[in-house]
């Protein structure tokens, strides 16, 4: 094997390699240390290793020599100086790559919390200002986050559970898991940065977008510009433009749909509504936000009811009202004008339904709770959220059921208490649908869904499918924006 490589190296130094052979040699120099050592043993260079360019970038820039096979001997000899120059470039690139690649930073930590730098299976805290070297990966803890400046790419924000590192190829980052948001610098059309997940690869065309990778799914959401997303198994590529999202699930090709841009605002209470809900804050924070919304490709901001203002509603793709004690959340929802706000809202607290105009008035209570475990009845209605739903009604067995009485002329009842279709445990309003006061008409999509934190300890619970379906429907658009030519 070494003799074959030695012959190929000698042919290259003599200018006799075909372009295909040169490409094979270049690839071997990048990835095979034995071939690299063998090549260096044939070249004598006295060079100063200066500059900031990485060896991998130099290797990528080395030109392929023209085809010399079949030309006269005299003409071949004219290639000897050029071949020597190419050999020198290759050797210099290789030296730079081998001796500076592991010292040159690929990114700098602008801010960090709950972040580790991992190298050779050894982890250490990642302080602000740290330079990340090739061979190092960044790992974010469950409740952590970080902001990076990636050389040649731009600003990268990492969410909980993100694991990010450079690939062996130049200008490629690998997102093993978690969430990132990228504000990319303009990229060369012929050599854009690429972000690879276990299921897909995104080619950056100078844009702002988020990417989330989970066990079996990759989610892309584009706020500005254009991203080309390729399914690694299917090999199919889709152009995803501003105001669109794309899913790659397992071996499936990318599925593109319109989606509202912006982040998610989660409103929570500092106090627990019930003495039995002592795990409320952690469950909502860890499970609902970190495990669910981040993995759906959303940047999430948590605000407590006592600190939120109407200004916090700006540029939101979605607002989620979490569970709160009676009398705590209602005046806040009224103060910030959420009932009339023009972005989708998912309310997880039945006590918030009246303030948002999601339930009707009358002699009967507008909302309530059922304390004993109970299944629910899935409505026969042909609603988009029910199309691919695989959750059986018996999986809704919980310690408590929360219900509301939505406006019959405007709401879509998706699930209700058995034998009581007017008491909905999951319901939705389309944009412009009839609602109760103070909204009267839905300014954007609205969803009512009660989630008892005590029943959400299992991250694989099928009820989470209902929540994720509600989120995706709330922010989706009927048709994605047209793809630029």
Are 277 and 237 in the same domain?
A: no
Count Cβ atoms below 10 Å from residue 63 Cβ, excluding itself: 11
The CATH number covering residue 453 comes to 3.40.50
Residue pLDDT tens, the chain, 485 long = 567 877 887 777 777 778 888 878 777 776 676 776 666 565 543 332 223 333 333 334 333 344 444 444 444 444 455 555 555 555 555 555 454 444 578 999 998 889 999 998 899 999 999 999 988 999 998 778 999 999 999 999 999 889 999 998 999 999 999 999 999 998 887 889 999 999 999 999 878 999 999 888 999 999 999 999 999 999 999 999 999 999 999 999 999 999 999 999 999 876 655 545 544 444 554 456 657 888 899 999 988 888 999 999 999 999 999 878 778 889 999 999 999 999 999 999 999 999 999 999 878 899 998 877 777 888 887 899 998 888 776 666 555 688 999 999 999 999 999 899 999 999 999 999 999 999 999 999 999 998 776 666 666 677 788 899 999 999 998 654 455 44
* Chain-centroid distance, C-alpha 170: 21
From the list 16, 2, 11, 86, the residue with the least C-alpha distance to 94 is 86
Are 211 and 327 in the same domain?
A: no
Token pair belonging to 458: 């299992």
Helices (H), ranges, 228-294: 280-282
Question: How many distinct structural domains can be found in the chain?
Answer: 3
Token pair belonging to 426: 């999951």
* Chain-centroid distance, C-alpha 90: 37
Among candidate residues 100, 120, 149, the one where a domain is terminated: 100
Residue in the block written with tokens 């730079």:
96
Are 152 and 195 in the same domain?
A: yes
User: Rounded to whole angstroms, how far apart are CA atoms 180 and 201?
Assistant: 14
Q: CA quadruple 45, 47, 49, 50: dihedral positive or negative?
A: negative
Are 121 and 89 in the same domain?
A: no
Are 272 and 251 in the same domain?
A: no
Contacts of 33 (CB under 8 A, 6+ apart): none
Are 394 and 314 in the same domain?
A: yes
> Which domain range does residue 212 map to?
105-258
Q: CA–CA distance from 446 to each of 302, 344, 413, 443 (Å)? A: 19, 6, 12, 9
Question: Global pTM?
Answer: 0.73
DSSP-derived secondary structure letter, 434: B
Domain assignment present for residue 355? The answer is: yes
Phi, psi of 82 (to 5 degrees): -65, -40
Q: CA–CA distance from 30 to each of 6, 62, 168, 335 (Å)? A: 16, 12, 9, 61
User: Rounded to whole angstroms, how far apart are CA atoms 59 and 191?
Assistant: 14
């Amino acid at each position: 094997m070494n003799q074959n490589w030695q012959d190929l190296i000698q042919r290259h130094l003599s200018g006799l390699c075909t372009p295909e052979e040169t490409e094979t040699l270049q690839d071997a120099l990048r990835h095979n240390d034995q071939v690299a050592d063998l090549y260096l043993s044939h070249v004598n260079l006295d060079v100063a290793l200066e500059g900031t360019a990485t060896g991998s970038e130099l290797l990528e820039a080395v030109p392929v020599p023209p085809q010399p096979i079949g030309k006269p001997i005299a003409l071949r000899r004219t290639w000897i100086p050029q071949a020597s120059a190419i050999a020198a470039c290759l050797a210099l690139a290789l030296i730079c790559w081998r001796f500076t690649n592991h010292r040159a930073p690929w990114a700098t930590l602008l801010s960090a919390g709950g972040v580790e730098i991992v190298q050779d299976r050894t982890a250490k805290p990642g302080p602000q200002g740290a330079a990340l070297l090739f061979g190092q990966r960044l790992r974010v803890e469950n409740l952590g986050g970080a902001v990076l400046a990636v050389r040649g790419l731009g600003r990268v924000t990492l969410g909980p559970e993100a694991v990010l590192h450079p690939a062996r190829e130049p200008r490629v980052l690998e997102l093993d898991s978690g969430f990132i948001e990228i504000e990319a610098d303009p990229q060369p059309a012929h050599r854009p940065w690429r972000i690879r997940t276990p299921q897909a690869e995104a080619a950056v065309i100078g844009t702002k977008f988020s990417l989330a990778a989970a066990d079996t799914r990759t989610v892309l959401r584009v706020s500005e510009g254009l991203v080309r997303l390729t399914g690694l198994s299917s090999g199919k590529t889709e152009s995803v433009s501003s105001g669109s999202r794309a899913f790659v699930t397992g071996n499936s090709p990318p599925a593109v749909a319109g989606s509202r841009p912006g982040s998610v605002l989660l409103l929570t209470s500092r106090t627990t509504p019930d003495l039995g809900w002592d795990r409320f804050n952690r469950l909502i924070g860890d499970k609902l936000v970190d495990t669910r919304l981040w993995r759906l490709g959303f940047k999430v901001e948590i605000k407590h009811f006592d600190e939120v203002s109407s200004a916090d509603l700006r540029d939101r793709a979605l607002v989620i009202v979490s569970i709160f004690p009676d009398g705590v959340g209602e005046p806040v929802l009224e103060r910030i004008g959420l009932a009339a706000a023009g972005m989708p809202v998912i309310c997880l607290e039945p006590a918030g339904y009246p303030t948002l105009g999601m339930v009707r008035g009358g002699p009967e209570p507008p909302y309530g709770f059922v304390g004993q475990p109970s299944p629910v009845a899935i409505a026969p209605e042909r609603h988009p959220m029910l199309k691919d739903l695989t959750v059986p009604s018996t999986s809704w067995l919980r310690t408590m059921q929360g219900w509301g009485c939505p406006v019959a002329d405007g709401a879509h009842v998706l699930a209700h208490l058995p034998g009581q279709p007017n008491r909905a445990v999951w319901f939705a309003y389309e944009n412009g649908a009839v609602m109760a006061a103070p909204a009267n008409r839905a300014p954007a999509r609205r969803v009512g869904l009660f989630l008892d934190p005590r029943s959400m300890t299992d991250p694989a619970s099928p009820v989470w499918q209902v929540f994720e379906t509600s989120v995706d429907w709330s922010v989706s658009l009927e048709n994605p924006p047209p793809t630029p030519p």
